[in-house]
Structure 1
């Protein structure tokens, strides 16, 4: 009996001893000083990670060095070839008189009030000629982007219409435009459409304002009145307040900023008077006075770019809308909205976050595609460069300038699109 009691006590003391040991181990682990070095296994893992980072950095450095070496080798070969043929690299030709005229386009020159946009003439320099080509490129790019966006959204929505005629018409438009080359479309609009219009003497006013003829297309425009100078102060304040409202994140303050900006614009009209008047074009036998005019070359290029990229915008819109969950349509229907209201009020605003990245890429492509204008003789920057290179023999310098300018245009469009995209994504996240 005593032996049994002793054995039970020994077992209990052994169990309690194990518990005491485990508690001591746990407490010693929990109470380990913060600066105590990790175990050998942890040290080997840290060394392995450090070695992997060092290896990755070394590989990236070698790749970057190889790229830089290849670029420098190419530049050295080019420079050696130019020196061998007695050709130097210089931009001095930009200050020489151009000696040729450009059919249309504005450049920076001395006006009545200092430097301003003035029509180009043959007495101005090659640099001003390139600026006139850049002006034409920017005008065509901006108008084509607006036209492609508006038409593309309408056609994209038409692709999802329940009306059989509208749906199939939109499908035929997209397939026809996307599957024919852009250059052929530009030539079609120029030779088969614009040059087939009646002359100015036979052209008629469409809705009393628009003149379409083979000499060009003329539309109403805004002309500055004497009150424009006084109104500019109010307009500047209004735009500044609007800009502040754009960067304000508080909805209440943003609404107040927008309301204040609109108030400055309205008060400016009341105090200074009307800053602009509508100028209606009037046609005579050989010319048009008033309004804004587009040459047949510019008009055909804008129409071709706008129509061509509208087809791609339509597909982007259709794909983005169809990517929205079906439950959004059902929720809108449960609220009593019809198909059209559900699309424009509920679904399409959500699809904007999907549409924007692709639209930015398309806008960059529109800017680069303006170089096709050389096929119909429109003096965009690339076309003007060709004339400058033929006269000066500075083809390398000229093409570098053109490439840098197109690169800056593309990067600017991408930056604006990405900035707006990030803003829309932040709103969606909230």
Structure 2
């Protein structure tokens, strides 16, 4: 005879002052109300003081033409463009340096972090010296040094260092760039489609490895899919082959694509500085994996490279990803220091805007909202990646 298990009786929640849950809820509501009241008081006093001093407020200035020149932009504008366009240009410049910087800093930091475990003594010491030097010199000072390198130590454009169609001088780096046509757009879309298909295959290969212990060459297949899809898209668009090549003009190197000294100084400063911290994050993550895991990988016949890629790094990711997210956020926020070297990112545009319009609170609030949005999106993406990379118990 099977005895029926008693069903646990849930206690009804009481929201009265006599219950613990009720008092906790009331305390939280009171705290939230106090914070909202303080914010409302500050806003009211600020608006009152601004009105007494004859200072205009509001965001209507965003529809007015900004009327100043921006040295570097990915978004076309005219003198009649409004402040919305100016802030969009600043945001695009911030995203440009942040995205490229995150990719390069991750690659460099990972290599240096792994190099800290190299059996080669010289390589280990070089990686150690790199980390200790770059993370202990303030980022602001590093940006100024890189800016001086590109603006004072490089030759003028008449004596620019030339390697093929690449020119490096005080005016920046000039390089060939394809004449953009439909084939390039379709090739880029094919590359993204191949990347998505490769990601699905990589997940299946990882799941197969977790179930059977047999590795599959996922990296080669992913790269092959990306290359094949990109080439097919390029061929479907007419296989364009035109290039815009830079050449020396009367006053500067003309044609091609150009990276300004300000952008290069900011990018290299952020990459070298952040990579030092990422290297320590990677080193600590690898060091957290027990020696028994290395020995188990060796007993399975895996060499050191396979052991690092298939055994050590997947386990180290759960330690690496959370602090790595902080470094990505720091790199994005440190890009605001570009105002010191004249790169027109978001803070630089905001400073010029508030000097012209006097809308300091409004301009700064836009900057705060932009950086808050970027930080939350970065955190959400990294949290998703952290959840997908977590080791699941069988």
> The TM-score by the shorter chain falls in which range?
0.7 to 0.9
Q: Larger relative contact order (C-alpha < 8 A, sep ≥ 6)?
A: 2
Contact 1:297 1:376 in 2 (8 A): yes
Contact 2:194 2:225 in 1 (8 A): yes
Following superposition, the deviation at residue 199 of structure 1 comes to 1.4
Choose which of 175, 179, 197 in structure 2 pairs with 1:219.
Answer: 175
Greater radius of gyration (CA): 1
TM-score, structure 2 as length reference: 0.84
- 1:217-264 Cα deviation digits (max 9, x unpaired): 1234343235446x37xx658856865886899939x99x98988765
- Aligned to 1:211, what secondary structure does the other structure show? strand
CA distance in 1: counterparts of 2:263 and 2:319, whole angstroms: 32
Distance 1:92 1:153, change over 3 A: same
1:389-428 → structure 2 map (5 Å cutoff): 389-425=354-390, 428=392
Could you say which residue in structure 2 is the equivalent of 1:286? 251
Choose which of 124, 143, 146 in structure 1 pairs with 2:81.
Answer: 124
Could you say which residue in structure 1 is the equivalent of 2:293? 328
Following superposition, the deviation at residue 353 of structure 1 comes to 2.7
1:26-425 → structure 2 map (5 Å cutoff): 51-107=19-75, 118=76, 120-206=77-163, 208-228=164-184, 231=186, 239=192, 251=204, 265-274=230-239, 279-284=244-249, 286-425=251-390
Contact 2:94 2:335 in 1 (8 A): yes
Contact 1:224 1:276 in 2 (8 A): no
Following superposition, the deviation at residue 173 of structure 1 comes to 0.9
User: What is the aligned residue count?
Assistant: 379
CA RMSD after TM alignment? 3.6
Contact 1:209 1:281 in 2 (8 A): yes
CA distance in 2: counterparts of 1:337 and 1:373, whole angstroms: 46
- Aligned to 2:158, what secondary structure does the other structure show? coil
TM-score, structure 1 as length reference: 0.77
Distance 1:167 1:213, change over 3 A: same
CA distance in 2: counterparts of 1:371 and 1:221, whole angstroms: 28
Contact 2:197 2:225 in 1 (8 A): no
CA distance in 2: counterparts of 1:61 and 1:305, whole angstroms: 42
Contact 1:140 1:302 in 2 (8 A): yes
- 1:49-101 Cα deviation digits (max 9, x unpaired): 99222122122112212221221121122122112222232212122222211
CA distance in 1: counterparts of 2:142 and 2:225, whole angstroms: 46
- Aligned to 1:106, what secondary structure does the other structure show? coil
Contact 1:200 1:284 in 2 (8 A): no
Could you say which residue in structure 2 is the equivalent of 1:114? none
CA distance in 2: counterparts of 1:260 and 1:305, whole angstroms: 32
Contact 1:228 1:276 in 2 (8 A): no
Question: Where does structure 1 lack aligned partners over 5 or more consecutive residues?
Answer: 1-29, 108-117
CA distance in 1: counterparts of 2:332 and 2:245, whole angstroms: 30
